[in-house]
Amino acid sequence: MDHQTEQTVRSLAGQQHWAISRKQALAAGMTAKEVALQVRTKKWQNIHPGVYATHNAKVDWWTRAWAAVLYAGKGAALSHYAAAYVWGLEKSQPAMLTVSVPAERTVKRQPGFRVMRRRRVEVVRRKRLPVTSIRQTVLDLTAQAGFTLDDTAALLGRAAQKNLLEPSALLELLDAQHGHPMSNRLRAACADAAEGVESSLESRILRHVIRAHGLPGFRLQDPLDVQDQLDDDSRTPSTSTDVRPPDATENRSAPGGAPDDGVSAGGRRVRRCDLRNRALGIRIEGDGVAWHGGDRFHEDRRRDRQAAARGEMTLRVTWDAAEDPCQVALDVASTMAHRGWDGVPTPCSPACDILEQWSARTQPAGKAASSSVTST
């Protein structure tokens, strides 16, 4: 193999995480005997029939991904959880890869990956690797059995935090590709994401605590320290259930893919809280273990102290508490009442006893004692 051919092959393989197909090697100028010699002398190693790693070290996940796509051939793309990992939506490398190919093609399955034949699929390149588009990947994952509304909200939240996907773009593809088995659930999650929901816990609080019990005046992803953004409406108690986020919602992701708690405003970082009622000085924070443990625990408490210094109350809601949304709603409503709200929470269902508990909490102590004596 001459020097120019060797450099061409090396450059191509380097762009494909050191994977190359026999067809590519021949097109680059190698002969069939030269390809066979690389394998026989163990300079290259077989991954799939006609696909090689151009080294003899351990084959990593990215080389496997490239090898699967090269083996599957024209129109093939990494999809489902493998594509989600490439997009940064999943933390773990899936052991089993999924490769989508055009429906008219038949590809023999190989160890380590499965093949899906599809009539409609949107393919792009991510890190040079053919993968399903971010919105196609989200549609594929949410179509799987067992994928819940919480799972969907979490997935859309991760995409939003990385500024990868707008809900409107996802809905556009959903409309174009008819027959999604969970389209209603996905549309609901998109509606939440469009309003600023960035996690499944935020979605749970918004839907089952705030909206379901008629608690007004809360805004999503509200800036914490931009006092000049206060408008006249936010200075007086609101009677609406407006939970739309403020306009500044860019830069939602932090280094490493963790959810950020800041937005950009005038070139400086502005901290945000999950839900905030400015008029009553109440903040609600979803306290998920994944992002609020470790150092974040101490940072969150520092922010709580700063909020208290401004006269604001911080209510932290964990996943465990969110499993009892009526009780959380009662606590939020009671806090609102202590801070000047004169409304009444509404039951979320016929089985919801929030009104009875609300009456018990808000009944004057003297009257409660009198009722107790009378009943005795």
Q: Determine, yes or no, domain membership for 183.
A: yes
In DSSP notation, 161-219 reads: HTT---HHHHHHHHHHS---TTHHHHHHHHHHHHHT--SHHHHHIIIIIIITTT--S-E
Q: Does one domain contain both 52 and 22?
A: yes
Spatial separation of the C-alpha atoms in residues 20 and 105, rounded to whole Å = 21
Classify residue 367: in a domain, yes or no: no
- pLDDT of 190 reads 86
**What integer pLDDT is reported at residue 17 of this predicted model?**
96
Statement: residue 101 has pLDDT above 50 = yes
Do 147 and 52 sit in the same domain of this protein? Answer: no
> Mean pLDDT over residues 89-100, rounded?
95
Claim to verify: residue 216 and residue 338 sit in the same structural domain:
yes
106 and 49, same structural domain? yes
Using one digit for the tens of pLDDT, what is the confidence trace for 7-57?
999 999 999 999 999 999 999 999 999 999 999 999 999 999 999 999 999
Strand partners, 48: 51
CA–CA gap between residue 229 and residue 95 (Å, rounded)? 48
Which pLDDT belongs to residue 225?
Answer: 59
Helix pair angle (149-161, 183-195), 10° resolution? 40
Mean pLDDT, residues 301-310 taken together: 78
Asked if residue 247 has pLDDT above 90, the reply is no
In a domain, 296, yes or no: yes
pLDDT at 296: 64
As a whole number of angstroms, the distance between CA 159 and CA 141 comes to 13
Same domain (yes/no): 126, 247: no
Domain enclosing residue 306, as ranges: 200-362
Is the separation of the CB atoms in 184 and 153 below 8 Å?
A: no
User: Which of 319 and 227 is assigned the larger pLDDT?
Assistant: 319
104-141 pLDDT, tens per residue?
Answer: 999 998 999 999 999 999 999 999 999 999 999 999 99
**pTM score, whole prediction:** 0.70
- Tell me, what's the pLDDT at 232? 36
pLDDT of residue 37: 96
Q: What is the token pair recorded at 46? A: 């077989």
More confident residue, 194 or 55: 55
Q: Is residue 244 part of a domain?
A: yes
Q: What is the pLDDT of residues 274-303, one digit of tens each?
A: 899 999 999 998 876 544 445 566 777 777
pLDDT of residue 204: 87
Whether residue 63 is predicted with pLDDT greater than 60 in this model: the reply is yes
Residue 355 and residue 285 share a domain: yes
Provide the terminal-to-terminal Cα distance of the chain, rounded to the nearest Å. 102
Whether 233 and 338 map to the same domain: the answer is: yes
Question: Poorest-confidence range of 109-123, 193-207, 298-312, 356-370?
Answer: 356-370
Selected residue with higher pLDDT from 172 and 224:
172
Q: At a CB cut-off of 8 Å and minimum separation 6, what does 310 contact?
A: 281
For residue 294, what pLDDT is reported?
A: 52
The answer to the question of residue 224 being in a domain is yes
- What does the radius of gyration of the chain's CA atoms come to, in whole angstroms? 27
Does one domain contain both 169 and 146?
A: yes
Instruction: Give the number of other CB atoms < 10 A from CB of residue 191.
Output: 12
Q: What is the pLDDT of residue 109?
A: 87
Question: Are the CB atoms for 199 and 288 separated by under 8 Å?
Answer: yes
Residue 261 pLDDT exceeds 90? no
Domain end position, chosen among 178, 195, 212: 195
**Same structural domain for residues 219 and 185?**
no
137 and 51 in a common domain: no
Could you say which of 173, 195, 217 is where a domain stops?
195
Cβ neighbors of 309 (< 8 A, separation 6 or more) are none
Q: At what angle do helices 149-161 and 134-142 cross, to 10 degrees?
A: 170
Q: What is the pLDDT of residue 148?
A: 82
**298 contacts: CB under 8 Å, gap ≥ 6:** none
Residue that terminates a domain, selected from 166, 195, 224: 195
Do residue 184 and residue 244 come from a single domain?
A: no
CATH number for position 211:
3.40.960.10
